[in-house]
Amino acid sequence: MLGNFRKKIRRFKSLLFTSFAKLTIQGRVIFKANGFTKLSKTTHLGENCHFNGFIINGAGNVVIGDNFHSGENCRLITENHNYNGVRLPYDSTNVIKDISIGDNVWLGRDVTILGGVEIGEGVIIQAGSVVTSSIPPLAIAGGHPAREFSRRDEEHYFELKKAQLFQ
């Protein structure tokens, strides 16, 4: 009985988080948020996206592909202070850079992605990583800054994709 009650609470929280996130995004998009999620008006989502706590900061465009999954407390930062301006340590202007995330990407818990980064299809980013530069398709990357340290089995990946075996 307690397990059934917990499931109902999780469903309610997911409905609440998803409803809040939909207030911040334009268009009709179907996705699921199981934790506090704040998207932006310049966010474009593919199908079947799952967020477990995700925040986008800044005015840059963010494109997220199909079958995206994030761990808790992930953050994308598309805007930063201009440190090459006319004042120190930075001036009053901002530098805006877009972020692009391919299909079938999985971000572990507490991942931060900075502006100007492209994450390729099928990439896995290890928990706690800070992504400062682009990651190629099918890479498994991690660290601070995140670097590729392994690769997915390409044949296996494309077999699963062809069979449309998505989570």
pLDDT digits (tens, 9 = 90+) for 58-74: 999 999 999 999 999 99
Q: List, in sequence order, every residue forming a beta bridge with 55; answer none if it has no partner.
A: 38, 75
Is residue 167, in this structure, part of any structural domain at all? no
Enclosing H/E stretch for 106: strand 106-107
Give the pTM.
0.92
- Residue found by looking up tokens 């761990």 in the block: 71
Report yes or no on 129 lying in a domain.
Answer: yes
Domains identified in the chain, total number: 1
For 85-125, write each residue's pLDDT tens digit: 999 999 999 999 999 999 999 999 999 999 999 999 999 99
Give domain status of residue 35, yes or no: yes
CA distance 11 to 34: 8
Whether 34 is covered by a domain: the verdict is yes
Range of the domain at 154: 2-162
CATH number at residue 11: 2.160.10.10
Is position 81 annotated as part of the catalytic site?
yes
Catalytic residue among 50, 69, 81, 144: 81
Residue 105 lies in a domain: yes
Please give the DSSP secondary-structure letter assigned to residue 116: T
